[in-house]
Amino acid sequence: MQHSAPVVNSWNEWDQLQEIVVGSADNACFEPTEPGSRPSIRNHPDTPFPTGPKSKEAIDLANEELAGLTRLLESQGVTVRRPETHDFSAPVRTPDFEVENQYCAVCPRDVMITLGNEIIEATMSRRARYFEYQPYRKLVYEYWNADPRTQWTTAPKPSMSDGMYREEFWEWPLEQRHERMHSFEFCINQDEVVFDAADMSRLGRDILVQESMTTNRAGIHWLKRHLEPKGFRVHPVHFPLDFFPSHIDCTFVPLRPGLILTNPDRPLREGEEKMFLDNDWRLVEVPQPVLTNEEMPPYCQSSKWLSMNVLSISPTKVICEAQEKPLQDMLADLGFEVFPVPFRNVFEYGGSLHCATWDVRRDGQREDYFGNLDYRPLA
Ligand code: DAV
């Protein structure tokens, strides 16, 4: 079927949504301990973290909320697609590593990104997530077969061998993290190209990429070299007070041209606000989340800032977690129609509403929202 608009078309985080993939908790497993991840039970750091499949009850509760999000999106005229069933309990063995089980398909955002008419599969940064593109491949083939304009790129797979990681990272005392906060060195080193898709945020021609535990400078360099010839500008961004950064969408969340939600605990590195202020973008701090970090679900490895992991249906409609009243009120004051949906049972799978989705088609084209920019491309 040939649409007049491309089947794959999404240039930013906010244009009117047409088609989206919502994750699934089917067959989800606990994330294994590995060089790139040290999961622990909240408030019980000395109890061993569980391994293998999650309980049926936990999976059903998350799936109910994912189904609720699906119904809401469909009621707004959005086509919702779901990943294929995958056996996450299967171990992975490559020439470079072994890991006892995989993770889940709750967070397509971490793995897949639409950049205009191109789908990119991220390299990923953790062993248990090495094959996480697989539940989405059937959809990718469908989009690729349906429209000759669909471009599809898989980023180079890193070895994920021991040498790719900096295991001491996990032992650094807080004081040392503070001293090193401007070096942006985390649990992966700079030897191989590494990035998770969720460290990127799309603003038309301009793509922000966070340096993090899941994206290194070589990964950002690869993205620049890949995207600049296509007319994108790639901007590394940093949040030095986030000592365990992973994925930009609980830190810096654009909602419409000229407006970005920011995290009061994680200010942008000094100087990096210039491109936004020079182009009349407002950076607006969100209120404190309703839950404290201590009150987050025991198996959840993310912070309370999942509160700001909202999903835009359009430049005027935003989906927000049902219990986050302070943020909902702020969004309403900013002129948004807010759609609350219960989602706390999804938190232990690593994300909230933005993480648990991958938008494939939105209205609109590539716009330049940063006319006043001093940008130096690689070549
Ligand atoms: O701020 O805790 C959570 C997002 C993970 N996908 C955070 C990052």
Q: How far is the CA of 315 from the centre of ligand 1 (A)?
A: 23
What is the number of the ligand 1 atom nearest to the C-alpha of 355? 6
Q: Is a pLDDT exceeding 80 seen at residue 26?
A: yes
d(CA 201, CA 255) in angstroms, rounded, equals 11
Q: How far is the CA of 242 from the centre of ligand 1 (A)?
A: 11
Measured from the CB, is residue 357 less than 6 Å from ligand 1?
no
SS3 57: helix
Contact (CB, 8 A) for 328 and 338: yes
Please compute the mean of the pLDDT values over residues 279-300 and round it to a whole number.
Answer: 98
* Residue-wise pLDDT tens digits, 64-108: 999 999 999 999 999 999 999 999 999 999 999 999 999 999 999
Specify whether 29 is catalytic: no
* Residue-wise pLDDT tens digits, 245-257: 999 999 999 999 9
Residue 232 has phi, psi (to 5 degrees) of -85, 160
Please compute the mean of the pLDDT values over residues 297-320 and round it to a whole number.
Answer: 98
DSSP state of 85: P
H or E stretch covering 71: helix 56-75
Which letter, b or e, does each residue of 37-54 get, where b requires 16 or more Cβ atoms within 10 Å of its Cβ?
bbeeeeeeeeeebeeebb
Specify whether 147 is catalytic: no
Specify whether 46 is catalytic: no
Measured from the CB, is residue 350 less than 6 Å from ligand 1?
yes
pLDDT at residue 68 in the model: 99
Q: What torsion, rounded to 10 degrees, do the Cα atoms 238, 239, 241, 242 define? A: -100
Structure tokens at 73: 């999106």
Q: Is a pLDDT exceeding 90 seen at residue 379?
A: no
Q: Is a pLDDT exceeding 80 seen at residue 58?
A: yes
Among protein residues, the one whose CA lies closest to atom 3 of ligand 1: 302
Q: How far is the CA of 303 from the centre of ligand 1 (A)?
A: 6
DSSP state of 103: -
What is the number of the ligand 1 atom nearest to the C-alpha of 110? 6
Which of 110, 196, 242, 249 is catalytic? The answer is 196
Measured from the CB, is residue 302 less than 6 Å from ligand 1?
yes
Measured from the CB, is residue 245 less than 6 Å from ligand 1?
no
Q: How far is the CA of 351 from the centre of ligand 1 (A)?
A: 6
Query: Closest Cα to residue 160, out of 87, 246, 225, 92?
Result: 92
Confidence of residue 4 (pLDDT cuts 50, 70, 90): confident
Confidence of residue 36 (pLDDT cuts 50, 70, 90): very high
Domains of the chain as residue ranges with CATH:
17-362 (3.75.10.10)
